[in-house]
Amino acid sequence: MRNVDLNHLIDLEALLAEGSVTGAAKRLHLSAPAMSRRLSNLRDALGDPLFVLAGRKLVPTERALALRERVQAAIEDVRGILAPAPVDFTRVERVLTLRAHDGFFGAWAARLSARTAADAPGVLLRFRLRAEKGRDVLRSGEVDLDLGTLGNPAPEIKTQRLFQARFVGVARAGHPLLKARNTRARLLRWPHVAVSEREHIPDPVDEALAEHGERRRIVAEAPGFQSAMAMVASSEWIAVVPEPFARWSAEHGALRVFELPFPTPALDIAMSWHPRNHADPVNCWLREHVRAVSKSPDR
Asked if 159 and 182 sit in the same domain, the reply is no
Residues 232 and 277 in one domain: no
Q: Residue range 161-182: average pLDDT? A: 89
Q: Is the pLDDT of residue 195 over 90?
A: no
Single residue among 82, 105, 135 that ends a domain in this structure: 82
Q: Would 214 be classed as within a structural domain?
A: yes
Residues 63, 69, 75, 81, CA torsion sign: negative
Q: Say if 232 falls within a structural domain.
A: yes
Q: Tell me: do 156 and 220 sit in the same domain.
A: no
CATH number of residue 248's parent domain: 3.40.190.10
Same domain, yes or no: 273 and 160: yes
Boundary-marking domain end, from 53, 82, 111: 82
CA gap 41, 21 in Å, rounded: 13
In the chain, the N- to C-terminal Cα span, in Å, equals 58
- The reply to whether 150 and 172 lie within a common domain is no
**Nearest CA to 36 among 16, 53, 11?**
11
**Shared-domain flag, residues 228 and 275:** no
Same domain, 76 and 147: no
Does the pLDDT of residue 97 top 80, yes or no? yes
DSSP 62-103: HHHHHHHHHHHHHHHHHHHHHSPPP--GGG--EEEEEEE-HH
Contacts for 249 with CB less than 8 Å, ≥ 6 apart: 106, 170, 226, 229, 233, 255
pLDDT score of 197:
63
Report CA dihedral (181, 183, 186, 187) to the nearest 10 degrees. Answer: 110
Using CA atoms, how far apart are residues 166 and 169, in angstroms rounded to an integer? 10
For the chain, what is the domain count? 3
If you average pLDDT over each of 28-32, 151-155, 195-199, 244-248, which comes out highest? 28-32
**Which pLDDT band, with edges at 50, 70 and 90, does 297 fall under?**
very low
Residue 144 lies in a domain: yes
Same domain as 260, residue 174:
yes
What residue type is 296 in one-letter code?
S
**Cα Rg, the chain, nearest whole Å:** 31
In a domain, 289, yes or no: yes
CB distance 273 to 138 below 8 Å = yes
Tell me, what CATH number does 44's domain have? 1.10.10.10
- Shared domain check, 120 and 189: no
In the predicted model, is pLDDT for residue 236 greater than 90? Answer: yes
Q: Which helix or strand (DSSP H or E) is residue 225 part of?
A: helix 225-233
Q: Does 11 fall in a domain? A: yes
Question: How far are the Cα atoms of 32, 172, 174, 233 from residue 252, in angstroms, in the given order?
Answer: 70, 12, 16, 11
Task: Give the angle subtended at the CA of 129 by the CAs of 128 and 135, to the nearest 5°.
Answer: 90
Distance CA 123, CA 106 (A): 20
Task: Note down the domain range covering 139.
Answer: 89-164+268-295
Domain boundary among 82, 103, 127: 82
Residue 2 covered by a domain: no
- The reply to whether 257 and 173 lie within a common domain is yes
Statement to judge: residues 63 and 114 lie in one domain: no
Q: Same domain, yes or no, for 125 and 66?
A: no
Is the pTM of the predicted complex or chain greater than 0.85? Answer: no
Segment 37-78, tens digit of pLDDT: 999 999 988 889 988 888 777 888 999 888 888 888 888 877
